[in-house]
Amino acid sequence: MSFDQEKSYDQEKAFKVEHHEHAGRRKSVSEEATELSGIEATAASKAAWLISITVSIGGFLFGYDTGYISSVLVTLGTSLGHALSSSEQELVTSLTSGGALVGAVGAGLTADRFGRKMPIWAACVVFVVGTVLQTAAYSVAQFAVGRFVVGLGVGSAAMVVPLYIGELAPAKYRGRMIAFNNMSVTFGQLVASAIGAGFAQVKGEGWRATVGIGAAPAIALAGLLLLCPESPRQLVAHGQYDRADAVLHRLYLTSTPEQRQAKIKSIELSIHEATQTMSDESLWTAFRRIFTTPATGRAVLTACVVMAISQLGGFNTLMYYSATLFALVGFSNATAVAITVSGTNFIFSIVNLFLVDKFGRRILLAVTIFGMATCMLVASIAFKWIPVNHDLELESGAVGWAGILVLVAIIFYVAFFSSGVATIGWIGTELIPLEVRAIGTMLVKHCHLLEHQHHYRLDLLVHDERNDAKRRLWVLLCHLLLGWLFVIFCYPECKGMPLEAIREVFSRGFGVKFSKQWQRENKHMAKVTTQAFGH
């Protein structure tokens, strides 16, 4: 072999070795996080469950606030100086959504800098202040300000709590623990409906008690939060390794020091792969990464689309019509209607707790969204046989089978909604990479709140026939079908995956095939047992 041939051979060999080592390094980045997460196979401690249950009080606050306002508006009377006009009622209702948007932005901008607990504490303080302003209000202006201030707290808590739980929860129970937060939201709505119904029978200004009671869980959450640790991922991101080790030991009592150190190393890997100094990164840089990094953009887009499905799918539009529809068949007590709907919502959010980690997010979304679409189709067709005018006023004395079928469709729709996309919309924060998780979750929260601003009435789409409920139902059906197609083709299954490994899913398109392969190869990590709570 000549010198030139030998040199060429050596260069080719060196290139192959370098290429092989580079491929190996890439493989180690995609797999090492999983390999270093052996701690996930150990049992979760009681502390992990108790912490998630405790901070889920934040979800209860959100549910209680959205649940009591309807009964309060009915019983306000002239307590604020005069009876509220329809525009004033709409103002005090929408101001909370506006405040929540601002609160979500504030929490998103501070959660990475100051940790996950600080925004939750701030939310509790703000919520109490807003509650006091409403309870002591004797003018529309003060009540409106109180609604906006409460919205600041609601938005902050609703943004950070699922984020915080997702980072603390063991991978195989993460869906269930985040789902518990959504269950707390529905429980808050149910409690608010019940309390509102009770104080509606009290002479005088019983509504003030309904509002004032809302401060109690906020105070309880602020106190109990002192017993909860900071997210280990936030601690590692800011170089507090000893504290991160202590938190992991608290969450995994049976873990060894080596397992905890390996988990910390896997967190470091995920952080350093995206940014060398996350704590020094500007907020604008983190926000810009969502739109300039394809994998990160796909992850945030997927989380946002699922949340949008939950809002554009028509749940609140059906709730807007539900009292009228129930009245058409003789169920005219608006409070009883609210309790019926809230009760169904709550019961099936519990059902989700038992399904989301066992069967996974993808199959639940596919089944329940299809179920919602089927119910919407039934309601849309049956509605044609109900003798009502464009103002939803009954034109004859008999409703018959069509009205009953619409009501049954509504109840089943709520059941599908609550057991599926309503909860998984929040679990979607697990898809967002750590370095943009707070800001990404803020965007997800905005997808949830922006629709509140329009009261779910689709006025822009049906402005020419403002009260054409039939047409709206068909529009909502189209939203659901488009959402179902997105889930089928673009939503990856990430149950049981360590958060550090999920980022690899979206580096391969939307990662549907890759996530299926991961599930097959790591069944031991994704498996959910029922014994962990006792450890």
The answer to whether position 209 is within a domain reads: yes
Q: Which of 214, 221, 250 is nearest to 161 (CA)?
A: 221
Residue 26 lies in a domain: no
Q: Please indicate, yes or no, if residue 45 is contained in any of the structural domains.
A: yes
Quote the CA–CA distance of 92 and 105 in Å, as a whole number: 21
Tokens coding 276 = 């060398």
Is the CB of residue 365 less than 8 Å from the CB of residue 491?
yes
Chain centre distance of CA 15:
48
Buried b or exposed e, range 400-410, using 16+ CB within 10 angstroms = eebbebbbebb
Residue 122 neighbours by CB under 8 Å, 6+ apart: 106, 107, 153, 156
The continuous run of DSSP H or E covering 19 comes out as helix 3-35
Spatial separation of the C-alpha atoms in residues 361 and 351, rounded to whole Å: 13
Q: Is residue 7 part of a domain?
A: no
The CA-atom distances, in angstroms, between 521 and each of 34, 108, 192, 517 are 11, 35, 45, 6
Phi, psi of 224 (to 5 degrees): -70, -25
- Secondary structure (DSSP) of 112-136: HHH-SHHHHHHHHHHHHHHHHHHHT
In a domain, 306, yes or no: yes
**Contact present, 92 and 143 (Cβ < 8 Å):** yes
pLDDT of residue 135: 94
| Inside any domain, residue 345 | yes
Structure token pair of residue 440: 């990404």
Q: C-alpha distances in angstroms, 180 versus 18, 177, 331? A: 48, 5, 31
Residue 467: predicted pLDDT: 46
The domain total for the chain is 1
Domain assignment of residue 62, yes or no: yes
Burial of residue 329 (CB within 10 Å: 0-12, 13-18, 19+) is middle
The Cα 305–Cα 310 span in angstroms is 9
> In sequence order, what DSSP letters do the residues of 332-364 get, joined into one string?
--HHHHHHHHHHHHHHHHHHHHHHTTTT-HHHH
Q: Which two tokens stand for residue 168?
A: 């603390």
Give the residue among 442, 164, 136 at the shortest CA–CA distance from 286.
442
Q: Look-up: residue for tokens 């996930």?
A: 40
What is the CATH classification number for the domain harbouring 233? 1.20.1250.20
Q: Which tokens go with 217? A: 């869980």
**pLDDT value for 149:** 95
Distance CA 204, CA 239 (A): 57
For the chain, 535 residues long, give each residue's pLDDT as a single digit of tens: 444 444 444 444 443 433 343 434 444 444 555 666 677 777 778 888 899 999 999 999 988 887 788 778 878 888 898 888 878 887 887 788 888 888 888 887 787 778 889 999 999 999 999 999 999 999 999 999 999 999 999 888 888 898 899 888 888 888 888 888 888 988 998 898 888 878 877 777 888 999 999 999 999 999 999 999 998 888 888 889 999 999 999 988 888 888 888 888 888 877 776 554 444 556 677 778 788 888 889 999 999 999 888 888 877 666 555 655 666 655 656 566 667 777 888 899 899 888 888 888 999 999 999 999 998 888 888 877 776 655 556 566 555 777 778 788 888 999 999 999 988 988 888 888 877 777 788 788 778 765 554 444 433 333 334 345 567 777 888 889 999 999 999 999 988 888 777 878 888 889 899 888 888 887 765 554 443 333 3
In a domain, 33, yes or no: no
Give residue 289's domain range.
40-258+275-534
What is the pTM (predicted TM-score) of this model?
0.73
